Amino acid sequence: MEAFLDDWGLTLVTFIPLAGAVLMMGTPKENESAHKLIALTTTLVAAFFGFLLLLNFEFEAAGELQYVVDKGWIDIINSRYIIGLDGMSLPLLLLTLGVVPLCIVYSFGHFPEPHNPKTFLALILVLETGMLGSFIAQDLILFFVFFEVVLLPMFFLIGVWGGDDRRYASLKFFLYTLFGSALMLISFLALFFLADGTVANEAADTARTFDMRALSTGATSVISRNAQLWVFGGMFVGFGVKVPMFPFHTWLPDAHTQAPTVGSVILAAVLLKLGTYGFVRIAIPFLPEAAAAWAPVIGLLAVIGIIYGALGCLAQSDMKRLIAFSSVAHMGFVMLGISTLTDFGINAAIFGMVAHGLITGMLFFVAGSMKDRYHTLDMSRLGGLLVQAPKMGWILGFSAMASLGLPGLAGFWGEFPAILASYNPASILSAPTWRGFMVVSALGTVLAAGYLLWMLQKTAFGTPTDEFESDPHIHDVSRFEWIAWAPMLLLIVVFGFYPNLIFDLTDPAVDKSLIIEGFSGFSAGDLGVETIADDARGCLDLPKDAALRCFDMLRNSGISGVAAGS
């Protein structure tokens, strides 16, 4: 079984949902039960193989890629089918494998107009393949293909099954993300032409390569500083739009508000994580020197996003739009952790991705169920949910408490470590600047408590309004809703009480991603410092002047990524 999983595990996990979508295309549209069965079965089979990968994963070697497959693909451009899994990508892979089947179960009782389960479920399966592939790809072109596969299914989910302004929201989502992807692709091509894969610690066969293993272990160190800054800038916009970071965020509230419920859940739980994952998997490990130069911009925009998103929440009257703006604020904490360029900050960011996916996904689930019952999410018309549907009201309250960062729930570990990491950013960065970011971001937690408690008070407390007081359609949590929500609620508690389930998994991979190969060959005298700290892993762990000298020495040596004496 281990040999089978090594060769086929990741491929099966990724493409089984796509196979299910193809099978559904050959099934008559009228056979709704068959489409439900195919969609649920394929996602559960994919989740089962993901569980087998988890059981056979070598946790003591979480920093190394496992289940690696390296096969020829597009030889003319030296792009290969390379996939692998480590501690950084495993939590996000499992998050995707868990959320999608829950969304499908939920949709059984909530197919939005114009109904058509065949196409609706098939699009979700295609979407799942794109998301899973993005987390395991180890070739830039392969990553880009998977990254773009998610675009069209979500475009159609919003544009066909969305709200009254669905066409505007879907087109805005499409254009924003397509623009970001174009800049990202240009950056990938620049890396292909400027890097030297033969000097990497995990060397490629040729100088020009899309192999992410080579590009993250020294192949890019030969690129000039100015070129690195431009290349990183392209990736910054490409990934920043997907996060989305301020000021690239304006597509998100419209997309969330108009998307069908499961579309909003998948968008919040997984799709936004493709952007933050791109930063920690590609942008920072590939171009650490440029990352240090861009870090103040990332940190500044992150804290602006935290405050702006929170203030935007306080200005909303629509419950779903409020939750959408809260995503801007919460993803700001993730980006703040990333901007510190430390293992602690990036570990906090990855935990924040998982926590945000579970908690905000739950909030959108509850909002969607309320919309089905009340046919509105205007908070001025709502109220008394705890009276009419007490179980749903308590679930909404629980999710709101988790979102505001209550200790003991997963949201706390998604925010507090990111704030704390800002007190001691990487040595190359300005500590006073990040401590200023820390203070401002901490204020964001206060605002978060304000807008979430305000939302809860407006929708759940009090007595039902006259409009809905005697409405027979308002009922408590249904069977399908319980099945879809219970696992997410449980995980919010489990990760809140035992965060090391994720931290122990991600830390080795994050630590490895920040190691700059070839650094160990330099002495303190070479770098112009009296001593080098024992725990220094690369140029980022040096004061700014010494760090810049370190990067120049790596660039001039032309042997970055080759261990000393090899």
Task: Report residue 162 CA to chain centroid gap.
Answer: 23
Of the pLDDT bands very low, low, confident and very high (cuts 50, 70, 90), residue 52 is: very high
Stronger pLDDT, 553 or 172, i.e. the higher one: 172
Cis peptide before 499 (omega within 30 of 0): no
What is the percentage of the chain residues whose pLDDT exceeds 70?
96
User: Do 169 and 258 touch, CB atoms closer than 8 A?
Assistant: yes
Q: Which pLDDT does position 500 carry in this prediction?
A: 94
SS3 of 399-436 = HHHHHCCCCCCHHHHHHHHHHHHCCCCCCCCCHHHHHH
Q: Per residue in 277-336, pLDDT tens?
A: 999 999 999 998 899 999 999 999 999 999 999 999 999 999 999 999 999 999 999 999
Q: Per residue in 524-557, pLDDT tens?
A: 776 777 677 666 667 787 888 888 888 888 777 7
What's the predicted TM-score (pTM) here?
Answer: 0.92
**Of 203-207, 484-488, 511-515, 519-523, where does the model show the most confidence?**
484-488
Beta 66-74 vs 79-85: how paired, if at all?
A: antiparallel
Kindly give the residue spans of alpha helices, DSSP state H, lying in 137-198.
140-149, 151-161, 166-194
Residue 559 has pLDDT above 60, yes or no: no
Mean pLDDT, the chain, as a whole number?
Answer: 89
CB-facing half-sphere around the CA of 407: CA atoms within 13 A: 2
Of the pLDDT bands very low, low, confident and very high (cuts 50, 70, 90), residue 364 is: very high
Residue 172 has pLDDT above 60, yes or no: yes
What are the residues whose beta carbons fall under 8 Å from the beta carbon of 376, sequence distance 6 or more? Answer: 382
Q: Which pLDDT does position 534 carry in this prediction?
A: 62
Residue 562 has pLDDT above 80, yes or no: no
> Minimum mean pLDDT among 119-128, 207-216, 531-540: which range?
531-540
What are the residues whose beta carbons fall under 8 Å from the beta carbon of 385, sequence distance 6 or more? Answer: 370, 392, 393, 396, 459, 460
What are the residues whose beta carbons fall under 8 Å from the beta carbon of 478, sequence distance 6 or more? Answer: 109
d(C-alpha 122, C-alpha 109), whole Å: 17
Cis peptide before 114 (omega within 30 of 0): yes
Q: Per residue in 402-454, pLDDT tens?
A: 999 999 999 999 899 999 999 999 888 999 999 999 999 999 999 999 999 99
Longest dimension (CA), the chain: 80
For the chain, counts of helices (H) and of strands (E): 25, 2
Q: Per residue in 85-111, pLDDT tens?
A: 999 999 999 999 999 999 999 998 778
Residue 517 has pLDDT above 70, yes or no: no
Crossing angle for the helix pair 166-194 and 151-161, to the nearest 10 degrees = 170
Q: Which pLDDT does position 319 carry in this prediction?
A: 92
Q: Which pLDDT does position 565 carry in this prediction?
A: 34
Q: Which amino acid is at 381?
A: R
Residue 220 has pLDDT above 90, yes or no: no
- 522-293-428 Cα angle (round to 5): 45
User: Do 403 and 360 touch, CB atoms closer than 8 A?
Assistant: yes
Q: Per residue in 15-24, pLDDT tens?
A: 999 999 999 9
Q: Which pLDDT does position 423 carry in this prediction?
A: 93
Instruction: Supply 259's token pair.
Output: 């998307």
Average pLDDT over residues 150-173: 91
d(C-alpha 481, C-alpha 516), whole Å: 47
Only one residue has tokens 């497959």, namely 69
d(C-alpha 312, C-alpha 264), whole Å: 18
What are the residues whose beta carbons fall under 8 Å from the beta carbon of 490, sequence distance 6 or more? Answer: none
Q: Which pLDDT does position 519 carry in this prediction?
A: 64
Average pLDDT over residues 193-199: 82
> Minimum mean pLDDT among 158-162, 166-170, 206-210: which range?
206-210
Give the closest residue to 43 by CA, choosing from 67, 14, 23: 14
Q: Which pLDDT does position 475 carry in this prediction?
A: 87
> Minimum mean pLDDT among 29-38, 344-353, 526-535: which range?
526-535
User: Do 403 and 326 touch, CB atoms closer than 8 A?
Assistant: yes
Q: What is the DSSP letter of 563?
A: P
Question: How deeply is 535 buried, as exposed, middle or buried, from its count of CB atoms within 10 A (0-12, 13-18, 19+)?
Answer: exposed
